[in-house]
Structure formats: structure tokens, C-alpha cells
Amino acid sequence: MAGLDREYQQDFTIGMAEETAKHDIDLCIFNCQGQAEVDVIRNDEGENAIFDLPDLNDFDGVVALCYTMVSGVALDHIKELLENISGKPTVTIDAPMDTAVEITFDDVTSVRALMEHLIHHHGYRRFGIVTGPMGNEVAMGRYHTSLEMLVENGCQLDYVFDGSWTRAGGRKAAKGMLADPKGLPDVVVCGNDDMAFGVIEYFNDHGIRVPQDVCVTGFDARQEAVSRGMTTIRRPSMEAGQEAVNVLVRWMEGDIPSDKVLTMPTQVSLGSTCGCEVDQHIADEYLRRLSDERRQIERGLTRASGFSSSLAGVSGQVEAGTVINDFAASWGVQDMYVCVAPDFLSPDAKLQETNYPDNMLLLSSYHKGEAGEQVTFATKELVPILSQEREKPMVLAFSPLYYLDKTFGYAVFDLDHATGVELYSVLTLLGGALMSLNLKCTVSAYATALEDISVHDPLTGLYNRRGYNQLAPKIFKDAQAHQHCFAVISCDMDGMKFINDEYGHMAGDQAITRMGQAMRVLEQDGMTCVHISGDEFISVGIVQSAAHAQQLGEALRQSIADLNRRDRWICDIAASIGTFAAVPRKDDNLDDFLIRADGAMYRNKRSRRTN
């Protein structure tokens, strides 16, 4: 379905949930935003990806609320998915399919009764119609029935607008009517209550009174509409949800339905927007509920604000899961799970535009007051708890998590919170906050990589002079503070001019690389090795004693000899090595040690030339 936060979808789902509980059946709801107002920025591909999450063949039965799909692309995709599970017990709502039982509603009788009331009881003759999407069969059915009644009774159709099922669409239609020089009709018939509210709101903003100046009617009999006195038509949505489950249960038990269409009655609900009287008791009850809902929204905004701040401060996977679980506890959910791609917080993450990967990471897991572990699981499991032994069936709603054109996961909620007013604000918050965390991790990883590059020599992989300037003083100060023996091993390659002149500078670079390989033997004893420049190398670190430092110098000579023997090259590499080690005194500095090690190295170089 689409738009689980809306009343019609909520009532239908509650009806299904009540009936599945009786039969010990789990109910999984795959829900996209779908019916968002036209000025809300969203990614239709990201929204519709949720329908590709489940393998429908893994379920015992499927229900599709095709009527709720505003997007023609989404509706076509749903139908394609259903066609691929031929033989599976399937119920569609307002969408005939050869392989499914369709539950539909007798809109024709109630629309004709409404039009009869408007024309003959009130005497309205000039009409405007605000329809649902022009490509939607349900919307067009209501429109054509209204049109037939106008023709039969010789009435005039002044306006037809596509309101896309939304309040914003209704406001746009009302604006179009006010801008037209032929003036307002007697009555505006709207294909649903949301569009009717949009029309009324725009008229009120511009001094047009309803019903004194123009009558407005809706459809669906939402609680808000009935309570505010709107003339509308009621569809038995909760009863339809119950009937959908009963059809599936009988089918699953082997009773294949012979009747492929079940039609449920609808009923006109008269109110003040067409000029009839409204029950004040109903209006008062609506105001009470509206007040309760307002307080709920205010509490939700406070929680969401704190949640957003907490998420903004997290720096990694474990902390993110903890913050989300803490939010779930404060929200009072029974079940809340956040599933993302396993590499989502990796700098190498390759986020999909629509499809989910084969495996998912359970970033957050909250079930009946208990936070669970972060685990990786096969995506086809949907969420691990579904495959676990339980005493009672579950009702879980799955909604997509995405940001702009990247789909990276989905969130799962218990029914009470999935049908609450906070659902999409929480989903939007989660999507934005998690993508920010993804970018933060990526930037941090790149910053670390850049820092690593800046302090390492590309030829040898050893630290460069910048790395030496960062690390060596810290090691020296540590040795000085704790009175440890500090060592400097200075190394200068021999014969580099000959290699460059005889074999070229590329060979010279390779010789330096080989020397870097030989130097790594010192890292085994905790020394920090540095390629200072050209043919100059240094190693610094804390050692046991001056004798130990001398042993390390010999180990370096042996490493060079072993490399020459083990990995033959165009010629042997050689180096002069000097060592100095001592416990730094209070007035000593790093340069003093470096000068003494260099002095020892040059003495070694002169003795090698003499020999």
C-alpha cells in the first residue's frame, strides 16, 4: 500500500490486523509514502523500492491496495509483481486481475445518490469536479458516474480539475476556479475528502463561504471530514480489511474462491458543506480528538528534535544503533528495527538507487523494551525476528529509507506507531540523519587517508620528513619524561650516484624502495622508520639500552645483506649506518641525538671507503 499514515489505509490495516490475530497469522505491510503532498520533495524510485524488498512467493497470501497508488509507475509495478506469483492466494483492492480476488466498493450507487441529493434536494445546477489522478480507475469511475448524472438531469459542468488526491491539488483547483471569468459553480464535487478540504481552505482564504457561496463535497468519510460537517461518502475500509483476510484464509485452506469480485456497499454521509445540518455532538467529539492529536504531535516534535540532535553527534555504527534504540524506548514502540546495507557506514559503500543488497545490517533492534544486537542477515528474511519462535503473531510495517536518489535501507515499526501521525516525520528524520552519518564517516575516512598520504613517502611507504616532524618529537619527549633510552639510527645509502649514472634515475628510485624494505626490520622492535630525502633514512624510538640500539644497527645491516641475497637485482644496495642512544637529560633536545647519530654514520661511511 501507499500512505499508511492516512485514515483509509489505517482503518483497512487495523481491520486486517484484527482478523490475522484471530488466525495466528503474521502480517507484513510494505508501505511507501506514495500520497505525499505535491510540494514534498521525495524520490519515487526510493519509495517504490520497498515493494521489491519481499519475495512474495515466501508468503502464504498477498493483499494489494492498488487504489492507494498515486504514481502510475508504482501501480504498474505492483501489477507486474502480482502477475509473477500466479496461483498464490491474492486479494486486490479496486484493481481487477485474472489471478486475484478483487474487493471493490459500490461507488456508483452512492455517487448517484449524492448527485441526486445535490440536484433535487438543494437544486444545484452548475457543477465543478475535482478528480483523483486521471489515470486512476477508481478516480475515473467516480468522475464518470458524476458526469452521467449531470447529463441525465440537464445540469452544467463548468470545471474539471485533476487534484491528485491531495489537499494541495484541491487548493490548486480552487485557485483555477477563482481565476476563471465565468465564476464559481453552485457545487464542487471532489473525489476524496483531502481534495475537498483543499478546496474549502482556499475558498475560505479568499472570502468564499461554504456552503453559502458554494457547496463542496468529498469522498471517503474520513473522521475529520465527518466531524467537521463535510458531505461525503463512506467506504467500509475496516470491514474490507477483515474480508480480505478471510478470503485469503479460506483460499489458503484449499477453498478456492469461485467469485472473483466482492463488492462492498458505500453510504452517503450528509453534512453542512452542502447545506444540510450537522450533528454537533460529532463535531465536539472531533475537537476533543483534534486536541489530543495536537498534544501528540507536540510531544512527537519534542522527541524528534532531541533525536535529531543525538543522531547528529554520533560517529559510528554502534553509537548510531544505541541512539536509535534509545529513541524507540522514549517513543514507546513495541517493535522498531532499522536495517541498512552492511557497508553503509564504510567509505567504499556503493549505495543503490532502487534495489536492496542480498544482505542487510540490523543497525537498530528494539522489541518490547529490549534492545537487540547488531547483526548481518539475509535480506530475504526481512527482519530476523520474523524467523524466531514467538507466542503471538506480529504486525510489522516496512517503509523505505532513502535520501535523494540513494536507497540504503528500510525501517520497521509495530502497527500502532506505523499508523501514527509521527511516521513520516520519523522516516524523513532517519533518512536524513543516517545519510549525514554516512557522509561524516566517508569524509572522516578520506581525511584519515589524506593525512596518511601526507606523512608517508610514496616510494618506500615509510614516514616522510613531515611524518618525522610530527612523530619524532613526541617519542623523544616521552623518553625524556619517563627516563627511557632514546635511539636514533641514521642511514645513508652508498653508491647511489653510480646507480643513477649507470642505470638511470628509475633504477635509483627502485634502489631507494629496496632500502625502505630493508629498513622495516627495525619496526619489529617498535622503531619508527623515516625516508628523510634522497638516499637518507632515519629510525627513531625507545630502546632498552645503548647496546640494544647497536644491535638494531647490526640487524639493519643484516637485513640489507639478506635482501641482496634473497632478491637479486641489477646490483647490491649498501648503506652506512650510525647509531646513538641515551637517556635524554632535561636540557637535551632531539637535534642533539640526530647530530650524534649522523656523526656516527659519517664515521662509518669514511671507514668503509678506507677499507
Domain locations in the chain as residue ranges = 1-26+61-278, 293-455, 465-610
Count CA atoms within 13 Å of residue 231 on its CB side.
Answer: 26
Cell numbers found for residue 557: 645491516
Cell numbers found for residue 554: 647490526
State yes or no: pLDDT of 327 exceeds 50. Answer: yes
State yes or no: pLDDT of 236 exceeds 80. Answer: yes
**Taking all residues of the chain, what is their mean pLDDT, rounded to a whole number?**
88
State yes or no: pLDDT of 320 exceeds 90. Answer: no
State yes or no: pLDDT of 565 exceeds 90. Answer: yes
Under DSSP, the state recorded for 523 is G
185 residue type, one letter = P
Q: Which helix (H) or strand (E) holds 267?
A: strand 267-269
- Which of the four pLDDT bands, split at 50, 70 and 90, describes residue 37? very low
Name the region of 24 (left: φ>0; alpha: ψ -120 to 50; beta: rest): left
Task: Give dist(CA 268, CA 515) in Å, integer.
Answer: 90
CA 478 to chain centre: 47
Q: What is the structure's pLDDT at 196?
A: 97
Low-confidence winner among 36-40, 275-279, 362-366, 411-415 (lowest mean pLDDT): 36-40
Q: Which helix (H) or strand (E) holds 576?
A: strand 574-582
394 residue type, one letter = M
- Which of the four pLDDT bands, split at 50, 70 and 90, describes residue 610? low
State yes or no: pLDDT of 318 exceeds 80. Answer: yes
Pairing of strands 261-264, 101-105: parallel
Q: What is the structure's pLDDT at 188?
A: 98
The residue assigned the cell 625516508 is 531
Q: What is the structure's pLDDT at 171?
A: 97
Tens digits of residue pLDDT in 91-115? 999 888 888 999 999 999 999 999 9
- Kindly report the length of the chain: 611
Identify the CATH number of the domain defined by range 465-610: 3.30.70.270
Task: Give dist(CA 46, CA 582) in Å, integer.
Answer: 65
Query: What is the number of helices (H) and of strands (E) in the chain?
Result: 18, 21
Task: Give dist(CA 462, CA 471) in Å, integer.
Answer: 12
- Which of the four pLDDT bands, split at 50, 70 and 90, describes residue 233? very high
Tens digits of residue pLDDT in 495-514? 999 999 999 999 999 999 99
- Which of the four pLDDT bands, split at 50, 70 and 90, describes residue 305? low
Q: What is the structure's pLDDT at 40?
A: 44
Task: Give dist(CA 222, CA 167) in Å, integer.
Answer: 13
Sign of torsion, CA 268 274 276 281? Answer: positive
550 residue type, one letter = Q
Q: What is the structure's pLDDT at 465?
A: 93
Tens digits of residue pLDDT in 355-411? 788 999 999 999 999 999 999 999 999 999 999 988 899 999 999 988 777 788 999
Peptide bond into 211 cis (omega under 30): yes
Helix (H, G, I), strand (E, B) or coil at 487: strand
Q: Where are the alpha helices (DSSP H) in 462-504?
A: 465-482, 496-503
Q: What percent of the chain has pLDDT over 70?
A: 90
Residue 22 CB contacts under 8 Å (≥ 6 apart), including other chains: none
List the 528-533 sheet strands across, edge first.
Answer: 528-533, 536-543, 485-494, 574-582
**Which one has a higher pLDDT value, 605 or 39?**
605
List the 62-64 sheet strands across, edge first.
Answer: 62-64, 90-93, 101-105, 261-264
Helix (H, G, I), strand (E, B) or coil at 203: helix
386 and 58 Cβ atoms separated by less than 8 Å: no
63 and 93 Cβ atoms separated by less than 8 Å: yes
Mean pLDDT of the region 524-529: 95
Task: Give dist(CA 183, CA 205) in Å, integer.
Answer: 17
State yes or no: pLDDT of 39 exceeds 60. Answer: no
Q: What percent of the chain has pLDDT over 90?
A: 62
1 and 419 Cβ atoms separated by less than 8 Å: no
Q: Which helix (H) or strand (E) holds 261?
A: strand 261-264
604 and 576 Cβ atoms separated by less than 8 Å: yes
The residue assigned the cell 625507545 is 542
Residue 183 CB contacts under 8 Å (≥ 6 apart), including other chains: none
Q: What is the structure's pLDDT at 242?
A: 97
Domains 293-455 and 465-610 share a fold: no
Q: What is the structure's pLDDT at 67?
A: 75
Cell numbers found for residue 519: 629498513
| Residue 1 vs residues 249, 332, 469, 497: alpha-carbon distances, Å | 20, 25, 62, 76
Q: Which helix (H) or strand (E) holds 30?
A: strand 27-30
Helix (H, G, I), strand (E, B) or coil at 488: strand
Low-confidence winner among 113-127, 447-461, 488-502, 546-560 (lowest mean pLDDT): 447-461
Q: What is the structure's pLDDT at 403?
A: 76
User: How many other CB atoms are there within 10 angstroms of residue 436's CB atom?
Assistant: 15
State the virtual CA torsion across 299, 303, 309, 313 in degrees, nearest 10: 170
On the 0-12 / 13-18 / 19+ scale of CB atoms within 10 A, 585 is: exposed
Cell numbers found for residue 478: 616521552
Pairing of strands 261-264, 485-494: unpaired
Pairing of strands 267-269, 232-234: antiparallel
Task: Give dist(CA 593, CA 479) in Å, integer.
Answer: 12
Identify the CATH number of the domain defined by range 293-455: 3.30.450
The residue assigned the cell 640487524 is 555
Beta bridge partners of 335: 367
CA 226 to chain centre: 36
- CATH for 1-26+61-278, among 3.40.50.2020, 3.40.50.2300, 3.40.50.720, 3.40.50.920? 3.40.50.2300
Tens digits of residue pLDDT in 426-440? 887 787 778 778 777
Count CA atoms within 13 Å of residue 96 on its CB side.
Answer: 8
- Which of the four pLDDT bands, split at 50, 70 and 90, describes residue 205? very high
Q: What is the structure's pLDDT at 425?
A: 76
Q: What is the structure's pLDDT at 41?
A: 44
Residue 517 CB contacts under 8 Å (≥ 6 apart), including other chains: 460, 563
pTM over 0.85: no
- Which of the four pLDDT bands, split at 50, 70 and 90, describes residue 7? confident
Mean pLDDT of the region 304-324: 78
